Every structure is written in C-alpha cells, then in structure tokens.
Amino acid sequence: MNSENSKIWLSRGLFAALALVVCIVGARFAPLPPEPPTGSYRPGSYTASADGFGGPIEVTLTVGETGGVTNVSITGEKETPEVGGAAIPMLTERILAAQSADVDAVSGATFTSTGVLEAAASAFGEAKG
C-alpha cells in the first residue's frame, strides 16, 4: 500500500472511531422519558362544573395509576373567546403543573378563572374520595 492510501484508510478509521464514540456518549446522555406524575388521588376520570362569565364551565381531571393527574380538560363554550377562552389554556397548564386547583387566577378573566377553579376544586375533591 502506498503512503496516500494509508492516509485515506487512517482518516476513515479515525472518523469511524469518532462516530462510534459520539454515538455511545450521545446514547448515554439521551433524555429519559418523563416519569408519570405521582399523587394521592384515586385513578379515574372526575368531572365537575361551575358557572363562568358566559355560562357553565366543565373541568375533567384524569388521574393515572400512580395517583397523579395526567390530563386536565376544561370546556367553556360560552366564555368570551378573547378573554375567558384565552384564559382556559393557561389555567389548564397551571392546574396540571400544580396537581391542584390551588393556582393563581388569570388577570382580566376573573369570572372564568373563578368558575374553572371552583369546578377543578370539586373534581379534585371527588378524586380524593
């Protein structure tokens, strides 16, 4: 083998070794899937409703096998889309993150927030048993 071929094979070998190291290190530090939330609630689905600004608001909590809330669904079709309707996704995230109805209301959407949080508190009460 001549010197030029040796250099090509050496560079290919080094590249392959580097790629292998990157794969091994990358796999070692890959993020793990999130753990399911844990809590003291009974597994199942719990729904409650309360009055919002425009009408009834319904909150459904889904509790997983580990006792944590895995999903929060809030419906309020008659809420003002720009105010109460915009507050619903924010409240959904807050309740799910806190695993509780003890979260801050959305500024400017007091009636919707109050209805959501009252319904959520009732649903959490059902889930506690």
Q: Where are the alpha helices (DSSP H) in 43-109?
A: 84-98
Domains of the chain by residue range? 1-30, 44-128
User: What are the pLDDT digits (tens) for 39-89?
Assistant: 899 999 999 999 999 999 999 999 999 999 999 999 999 999 999 999 999
Place of tokens 């009252």: 118
Listed in sequence order, the residues at least 6 apart from 56 whose beta carbon sits closer than 8 Å to its beta carbon are 49, 50, 76, 78, 115
CA–CA separation, 58 vs 81, rounded Å? Answer: 16
Place of tokens 């508190």: 121
User: What are the pLDDT digits (tens) for 79-127?
Assistant: 999 999 999 999 999 999 999 999 999 999 999 999 999 999 999 999 9
Of 3.40.1160.10, 3.40.366.10, 3.30.565.10, 3.90.1010.20, the CATH number of 44-128 is 3.90.1010.20
Residue 28 pLDDT level (bands cut at 50, 70, 90): low
Terminal-residue alpha carbon distance, the chain: 79
Per-residue pLDDT at 11: 72
Residue 26 reports pLDDT greater than 70: no
Looking at the chain, how many residues does it have? 129
Note the pTM of the prediction, 2 decimals: 0.74
DSSP structure class, residue 105: P
Per-residue pLDDT at 68: 97
Residue 1 reports pLDDT greater than 60: no
Residue 31 reports pLDDT greater than 80: no
Q: For residue 101, which of 115, 87, 89, 86 has the smallest C-alpha distance?
A: 115
